[in-house]
Amino acid sequence: MSDQSNDSSDSIRLSKRMTELGMCSRREADEYIERGWVKVDGVVVNVLGSRVRPGQTVTLEAPAQAAQAARVTILLNKPVSYVSAQAEKGYKPASVLIVPENHWDGDLSGQRFHPQHLRGLAPAGRLDIDSVGLLVLTQDGRVAKTLIGENSNVEKEYLVRVSGRLSDEGLRLLNHGLELDGEALRPAQVVWQNADQLRFILKEGKKRQIRRMCEMVGLQVVGLKRIRIGNVRLGQLPTGKWRYLASNETFD
């Protein structure tokens, strides 16, 4: 029942340290601490706001590990006219598609749908209303941190149908050299897939980033489809259908 308080200048909040270690989200960390499911150097810490030094060992008790194992991650092939998160301007959130009748019969995860899987399910990344393809919704803070955390380095791959004329210099700028919102974009990989379609591979996801990048080099996006996030591909998942992330699949 120790609070493991530590006033050392290099100490940090235990919940923050847990997220840095990739153990869980901040919200989950606070829950585990309150429940007495966290140990620091072998001693239970159950007081919110407790601090630890970087060298101390943080571990999760069995109930926390079981809670994490029960959390699901869902892969959806999002259709046009659905928003990624909260409903807006009359458009429905993509989460309304996570119902038993839309569960893909090609799902090999072995998971069976349970209403509990909808609790706390949230998108880990966005696809705008007019874009389609792979959208990840998860209950697991570790997955969310991997995909959208501040230091995320996971690739996202898109097929982008465009109209307009793209010069060699424009293609070079798409790969590296553009700015959005006053910030230089990270290097991308952009190549022609066919006569009217580009393949984009990005490691960031600013709002409507690809569409805005294309506009800056004189292109208009006609269609945009996300086909991969990290090691996970959209594959044969039909539009509007969803499946569970299998236990042997990881994004990084």
Residues with a known catalytic role: 128
Residues 6+ apart with CB under 8 A from 182: none
Q: How many CB atoms lie within 10 A of CB 224?
A: 23
8 A C-beta contact, residue 242 and residue 96: no
**What is the rounded CA–CA span in Å between residue 169 and residue 174?**
9
Helix (H) or strand (E) holding 59: strand 58-60
Which residue type does 40 have? V
Quote the distance between the C-alpha of residue 193 and its chain's center. Answer: 25
Q: State residue 205 phi and psi, 5-degree precision.
A: -155, 65
